[in-house]
Amino acid sequence: MSRRAIPDAAVVGGGMVGAACALALARAGFDTCLIEARAPAPWRSEDEVDLRVVALAPSSATLLRDLGVWEAIAAARVSPYRHVHVWDAENGAALDFDAAQQGRDALGWIVENRLVQDRLWQALDAAGVRRLCPAEVRDFAAREERAALELADGSALSARLLVAADGAQSPLRGRAGIATRGRDYGQRAVVAHVTTERPHEHTAWQRFLPGGPIALLPLADGRCSIVWSLPDAEAARVLALDDAAFCAEVGLAGDFRLGRVVATTPRAAFPLHLKLAERYDAERFVLLGDAAHAVHPLAGQGVNLGLRDVTELRDTLLAARDAGGDIGAVHVLRRYARRRRSADTLDALSFDVLARVFAWQAEPLVALRGLGVRLLDRLTPLKRRLAEHAAGV
């Protein structure tokens, strides 16, 4: 099969990051196909707000705007947050970030995962992305100028580049022989939407407790989405509570910062892991999103890191094409892998260090932690750098 007869890229995985990657490559003029086992359920405004939400950073909004979908997302149901208030339950030390001080309208936006995915999928056809769904990749192999894919239905497909965006358990990563390192936090993140006595003030609130942080994130309808990291046994206990008892415990965990919690949706939970791929590339193959890195949600950066992977991959492939090169060449993929693995690893390990530091219980260490937080809150230049990094600047 000749080079021109096959797609430039086959993206496996149609979640937010995979769909964004397929759309980004197609918008950049690459012949792209997207392979996904199940089409996402359509997002509808009359449905309950999805329990899984993401805090999109300005860098993510910029990419989605470039892809022509941000306006459709923003017009549907999003909530900007203009302030972040973080405080330590053990010593009272607090850290504040404010959009106005950063010269921004918002520090980020709380958006339903399903809404972002839905708008991306709606844009695929018009961009010329070929969708193979339902479809699964059974196996693949590099063949000189292409990656040869064997699908579960017995059909075959080739592409100049195979992009794995198939999640934290990534079967393709395993088939490529790429190992991971990390740790199981022994925690689950309990999620729900709650109604509070006082308005959320378009603020993302996060309190660090001995068992893990609780975040109250502002939703467009005035409620808060909670993400509460708890040891496995404690998470199971909290999930089994009736609504009244659950509301009381959420209020207590959040220091009643928004008054009493008066109502809740049904709850769900997901396990927390740190997982980093030892490398992001193989012959005719790259990883991005959760397939490359799964991080603790305490900083709300998981999807943002994945979307930064998308931007870097698109720009790297564009530079290779503009130079007349092969987009699947080893040196091209290594350039992407080197840049993103370095950045992702630094961020992931930083989040891991934060999780460890805020788990300190010894009194001298708790006092030292409080001193550090108070000092950071007063160091305006450093705090600005942290805010810019979180924004993707």
Domain assignment present for 242: no
In a domain, 160, yes or no: yes
3-class SS at 278? coil
Provide the pLDDT confidence category of residue 391 given band limits of 50, 70 and 90. Answer: low
pLDDT of 384 reads: 72
Query: Quick one: average pLDDT of 270-297?
Result: 94
Average pLDDT of 326-341? 96
Question: pLDDT tier at 300 (50, 70, 90 boundaries)?
Answer: low
For the chain, the first-to-last Cα distance in angstroms comes to: 42
How many domains, the chain?
A: 1
Q: What does the pLDDT look like over 31-65, one tens digit per residue? A: 999 999 999 999 999 999 999 999 999 999 999 99
Using an 8 Å Cβ cutoff, are 267 and 239 in contact? Answer: yes
Torsion from C-alpha of 359, 360, 363, 367, nearest 10 degrees: -90
380, 383, 389, 393: CA torsion to nearest 10 = -20
390 within some domain:
no
pLDDT exceeds cutoff 60 at 109:
yes
Confidence of residue 389 (pLDDT cuts 50, 70, 90): low
User: What is the rounded average pLDDT of the residues 6-18?
Assistant: 96
d(CA 126, CA 42): 17
Domain contains 309: yes
pLDDT digits (tens, 9 = 90+) for 139-155: 999 988 899 999 999 99
Domain span including residue 161: 3-42+117-181+275-356
Is 306 inside a domain boundary? Answer: yes
* pLDDT of res. 296: 82
Better-scored residue on pLDDT, 124 or 383? 124
Mean pLDDT calculated for residue range 374-385: 73
Among 261, 201, 190, 253, residue whose Cα is nearest residue 226: 190
- Count of alpha carbons within 13 angstroms of residue 374, beta-carbon side: 9
Sort strands 212-218 and 268-277 into parallel, antiparallel or unpaired.
unpaired
The predicted model scores a pTM of 0.92
Report how far residue 117's alpha carbon sits from residue 111's, in angstroms, rounded to the nearest whole number.
11
Judge whether 134 lies within some domain: yes
Residue 89 has pLDDT above 80, yes or no: yes
Average pLDDT for residues 127-133, to the nearest whole number? 96
pLDDT for the residue numbered 16: 96
Q: For 226-230, 252-256, 366-370, which range has the lowest pLDDT when averaged over its residues? A: 366-370
Q: Pick the more confident residue, 295 or 66.
A: 66
pLDDT tier at 25, thresholds 50, 70, 90: very high
- At residue 198, φ and ψ (nearest 5 deg) are -110, 155
Tell me what the mean pLDDT of segment 275-283 comes to.
96
**pLDDT of amino acid 364:** 84
Rg (CA), the chain: 22
Between 6-20, 131-145, 349-363, the lowest mean confidence (pLDDT) is in 349-363
User: In Å, how far are 12, 92, 120, 304 from 167, measured between CA atoms?
Assistant: 10, 37, 17, 15
Instruction: Decide: 127 and 24 in contact? Cβ < 8 Å.
Output: no
- Identify the helix (H) or strand (E) that includes residue 208: strand 203-209
Predicted pLDDT of residue 373? 77
Mean pLDDT of 167-194: 95
pLDDT exceeds 50 at position 210 = yes
Q: Collapsing DSSP states into helix, strand and coil, what is residue 37?
A: coil
Among 176-190, 294-308, 344-358, top mean pLDDT goes to 176-190
**pLDDT for 57:** 93
| Lowest-confidence region among 4-18, 36-50, 56-70, 356-370 | 356-370
Is the pLDDT confidence value at 308 over 60? yes
Does residue 318 lie in a domain region? yes
The CATH number of whichever domain residue 139 belongs to comes to 3.50.50.60
Task: Tell me the mean pLDDT in the region 209-234.
Answer: 95
Does residue 310 form part of some domain? yes
> Which residues touch 3 (CB under 8 Å, ≥6 apart)?
145, 146, 160
What are residue 286's DSSP bridge partners? 163, 281
Average pLDDT score over the chain: 92
